[in-house]
Amino acid sequence: MATTFDFSQWPPSLTDSQLETLTHHATTYALSHGLTYLPPAPTQPSSPSSAIHAPISLLPAPVPRSLFKKTQCLQSVYNMLYARVATNDDFLDREMGAEAGVGKADEFVRTLWKGWKDIRDEGIIQPLHLGLFRSDYLLHTGGGDGTLSVKQVEFNTISSSFGPLSERAAAMHRYLHALTNYYDISPHLKSENFPPNNTTSGLAQGLAEAHEAYGVTGAYILFVVQPDERNVFDQRWLEYELLENHSIRVIRQTFAELSSSAKLDPETCVLRLTIPSAAPNSSTLIEVSTVYFRAGYTPTDFPTEEHFKTRFALERSRAIKCPTIPLQLAGGKKIQEVLSQPGVVETFLSSSDTITNHTTDDAASLRETWMRMWALDTPTPPLPASIPPDAHKAENEPLGTKLARINASSLVLKPQREGGGNNVYKSDIPAFLDTLTAAERQAWIAMELIVPPAGVGGYLVRAGGAGGSAWTSWEKIVRAETVSELGVFGWALFGKEGIVKERGDVGWLMRTKGVESNEGGVAAGFSVLDSVVLVDG
């Protein structure tokens, strides 16, 4: 779509006095409403006594109304697509397995896949999967004719974080508008342009549906968490929502804690945890209905073999997993690339679904959101007209790798990792390619960079002393040229027979970073939490 909104004029100017007032109101609102992190510390205390506000923006980021609506409408299609990918064993074996796929080159993927293969051979106990998904997008101006579109960065199938905090960031901006009217600095800053965001209740509903499908009154939902988690409040808001509005209790444990507390019934594979009881020096067993993984997406979550054994024990259980190992593997960048190949996504959307009612007609809409992608080890990637077909003959490497060298300035290389800080960008690509063996190339894909609108800015605020090494040296507030990434949440409860229940309209996340940063993770210290102001073309 063509847009008449001038992104280069955003944000409108604020005086020093107005900035000071808005910052005061924003940070106190954040602290009052749980838009918070635990402060940096070598280890977090078991009972925290302080918190800092999360990194935030003072003004919401502009998004064209029609493009925002498009991302919301696509989420149910993505829910169904990834449900079908996760239940297609042959496809995942071929693309992610240790025998022919990414697992040949990536030890972490190989270990997960082998564990899942062993469990399949034994017989799957729980046929249902739960996915709490987030599809991430950037605005794209790369058409060359002024046309603006949305392009997908990635699709997240594990630990899709910041739902509850994104809801509170949006509420903070609505509060600032109601309180100050943003000093009438922009006609776009009016209440009807602040879209609703009820992510906490939406995501909790997905967990509650899995719990209900399990069908045991009094069972708990298990949150598997990382040790020394600073982003604990984002998780706690889901816990409170489950207890207060669904009467479901949550227990939080790390893989290390689960290695001693988790027990599988040898006959039924029911998962029970040993926890302290009210009586001194005694314990009790609780049953787990649903396992929600907020850990397990990175190799550092598995420092020992025992951690992997615990992960596989949870997978063997009767509890419903969010995600299962195949659903986690389905979120790999290799899957994203393979789906973009001619005819592949159409195959997965070739039949209708009685719940979502989406078919292959939606494939074109999905493809409109994808940048060009290819595997480094492929001999025949899609070639632009400017690259001769025999370009790879100058070096003894696949054409996919050669094409990445030639186009490095407009590319990002992605491995099969989540959590931020793993990609290789632009000028760093050629030297990095020199370090890869032929086998290692199989674990990487190349993707054309999305080109966001130029000149857009924001006012970014972080708690003093709260940033890690990823933060620049700016102090509490700075006006910077920025890039904003929109994440759209949805969930699906499904099995091989299809989707049981799903929702694609459960909320959204906006993260904003300085243009100098290639990465986008808030928890990793690259971005701030933001929200959306809708603008018309």
Instruction: Answer yes or no: is 235 a known binding residue.
Output: yes
pLDDT by residue (tens digit) across 54-70?
Answer: 999 999 999 999 999 99
pLDDT score, position 515: 86
> Would residue 476 show up in a list of annotated catalytic residues for this protein?
no
Catalytic residue among 70, 272, 414, 503: 414
Catalytic residue among 315, 511, 514, 521: 511
Instruction: Answer yes or no: is 490 a known binding residue.
Output: no
pLDDT score, position 3: 62
Predicted confidence (pLDDT) at residue 254 exceeds the cutoff of 60: yes
Record the tokens describing residue 131, joined without a space.
């996915």
> Would residue 418 show up in a list of annotated catalytic residues for this protein?
yes
pLDDT score, position 289: 98
pLDDT by residue (tens digit) across 484-531?
Answer: 999 999 999 999 999 999 999 899 999 999 887 655 454 444 589 999
The strand ranges marked E within 163-276 are 220-224, 250-253, 262-264, 271-276
3-class SS of residue 454 = coil
Decide: 269 and 317 in contact? Cβ < 8 Å: yes
Instruction: Answer yes or no: is 131 a known binding residue.
Output: no
Instruction: Answer yes or no: is 296 a known binding residue.
Output: yes
DSSP 459-521: EEE--TT---TTS-S--SEEEEEEEEEEEEEEEEEEETTEEEEEES-S-EEEEEEETT-S---
Catalytic residue among 209, 239, 418, 502: 418
pLDDT score, position 396: 73
Catalytic residue among 161, 193, 197, 484: 161
CA atoms of 55 and 66, how far apart (whole Å): 28
> Would residue 134 show up in a list of annotated catalytic residues for this protein?
yes
**How confident is residue 392, by pLDDT bands cut at 50, 70 and 90?**
very low
> Would residue 161 show up in a list of annotated catalytic residues for this protein?
yes
CA atoms of 52 and 30, how far apart (whole Å): 9
pLDDT by residue (tens digit) across 460-469?
Answer: 998 764 444 3
Identify the residue with better confidence: 425 or 100.
Answer: 425
Catalytic residue among 110, 134, 462, 503: 134
Record the tokens describing residue 253, joined without a space.
């444990």
The DSSP H or E segment spanning 140 is strand 129-140
CA atoms of 154 and 537, how far apart (whole Å): 26
Predicted confidence (pLDDT) at residue 471 exceeds the cutoff of 70: no
Predicted confidence (pLDDT) at residue 477 exceeds the cutoff of 90: no
> Would residue 496 show up in a list of annotated catalytic residues for this protein?
no
Catalytic residue among 333, 441, 462, 503: 333
Residues of the chain with pLDDT > 90, as a percent, come to: 78
Pairing between strand 532-535 and 508-514?
A: unpaired
Mean pLDDT of the region 291-304: 97
Choice among 163-167, 222-226, 366-370, 473-477 with the minimum mean pLDDT = 473-477
Instruction: Answer yes or no: is 333 a known binding residue.
Output: yes
**How confident is residue 275, by pLDDT bands cut at 50, 70 and 90?**
confident
Instruction: Answer yes or no: is 88 a known binding residue.
Output: no
Instruction: Answer yes or no: is 429 a known binding residue.
Output: no
**How confident is residue 27, by pLDDT bands cut at 50, 70 and 90?**
very high
Instruction: Answer yes or no: is 414 a known binding residue.
Output: yes
pLDDT score, position 279: 67
> Would residue 350 show up in a list of annotated catalytic residues for this protein?
no
Domains and CATH numbers, the chain: 64-161+193-370+485-535 (3.40.50.1760), 373-448 (3.30.1490.50)
Among residues 270, 158, 266, 260, the alpha carbon closest in space to that of 220 is found at 270
> Would residue 154 show up in a list of annotated catalytic residues for this protein?
yes
